Amino acid sequence: MTYASEFARWATRLRAPLLVVLALAFAGCDKTDEITGSSEATETPAGDATTVDASFNSGRFRGGIPMGHFSMPTSQFGAEYNGAMRNIWPQELVKELSAIRARGGRVVLMMAGHERHYKSGGRFDMNKWKQRINRYRGVNFQSFINDGTIIAHYLIDEPNDPENWRQPIPGSVLDEMAAYSKRLWPNMPTVVRAEASYLAKWPTRYRHLDAAWAQYVTRKGTPREFIRRNIADAQRKGLALVTGLNISKGGRNRSRLSAEQIRTAGRELLSSSYPCAFISWTYNSQYLSTRSVREAMRTIRHLAQNRAAKSCRS
């Protein structure tokens, strides 16, 4: 979410020097509604959400499949990146989605936020999860679903990980979550960040869940084997597939991927036309701005843009 509205209220009664101090302190507070505490994404400030580059003012998606990063600020949507996974608070949703759409971007939208909000005794709590989703019921964002600005509703992170949930969340529960989302927003695709192989292990027939998520790390074998396995399992269960890289901790001993690893793995993951989006974990401006990494990302962006656009609905 953006903090511009919060700062504006402080500014009406505090002088500029004090405002700077408060802004720095505020950035460290728990106002970001992060996704998970154990391994993956947290939401970052969206930047200047109301400013649109003059060079990218058509308000139109440029084609292909969305490509970008978890927690990517709104200001970074443009020629290089046009996709992201974002956790946006209800009160900021329409404003942020409008700015993203104006920049030609699309997002996988997380609504539930940090897992601590929907656990009981360390385990997943469906009722608490529904309460988190219900915060969005009064927000009119249907137009962003209709025009594809929202790629999919990100239901939950790593349901397969016992470190997150004490015990893995079965496929039947994941489809129940997707069914609840579809009751509220019938034409919004649903996705969980779990590999298709995990979803395929359950006997569940996925009637409401639309997509799996294949995020590559080097310990999972070669990129070619990884994507082939996930596509086969997704097809077997009738699911679409989001893919991407763990660029931050996907290398050996949880190190960052090198530029060459990004380029090579990205090419393999996009060698098939099956994936509907390419979203990597996670946005880091300093790392992504290095010349070699930026060039590798441009290679992937070119491949993603030349794929036929497709929905993430199953």
pLDDT digits (tens, 9 = 90+) for 182-203: 999 999 999 999 999 999 999 9
pLDDT at 63: 81
pLDDT > 70? residue 81: yes
Beta strand 277-280 with 190-193: parallel, antiparallel or unpaired? Answer: unpaired
Task: Supply φ then ψ for residue 106, to 5 degrees.
Answer: -140, 150
pLDDT of residue 45 exceeding 70 = no
Taking residue 47's Cβ as centre, other Cβ atoms within 10 Å add up to 16
- The DSSP secondary-structure symbol of 57 reads -
Q: What is the DSSP string of 258-311?
A: PHHHHHHHHHHHTSSS--SEEEEB---HHHHTSHHHHHHHHHHHHHHHTSPP--
pLDDT of residue 79: 87
The strand pair at 67-70 and 83-87 is best described as: parallel
Residue 243's SS3 state is: strand
Q: For residue 66, what pLDDT is reported?
A: 98
Give the residue among 99, 102, 11 at the shortest CA–CA distance from 49.
99
Give the tokens for residue 198.
């995990």
**Res. 17 pLDDT band, cuts 50 70 90:** very low
| Per-residue pLDDT at 40 | 36
Place of tokens 């269960």: 237
Region 171-189: mean pLDDT is 98
User: For the whole prediction, is pTM greater than 0.85?
Assistant: no
Measure CA of the first residue to CA of the last residue in the chain; give whole Å. Answer: 29
* Burial class of 66 by CB neighbour count within 10 A (0 to 12, 13 to 18, 19+): buried
Please give the torsion angle defined by the CA atoms of residues 96, 97, 99 and 104, in that order, rounded to the nearest 10 degrees. Answer: 150
- Alpha carbons within 13 A on the beta-carbon side of 294: 9
Average predicted confidence (pLDDT) for the chain: 85
50: pLDDT strictly greater than 50: no
For residue 243, which of 255, 233, 252, 253 has the smallest C-alpha distance?
Answer: 233
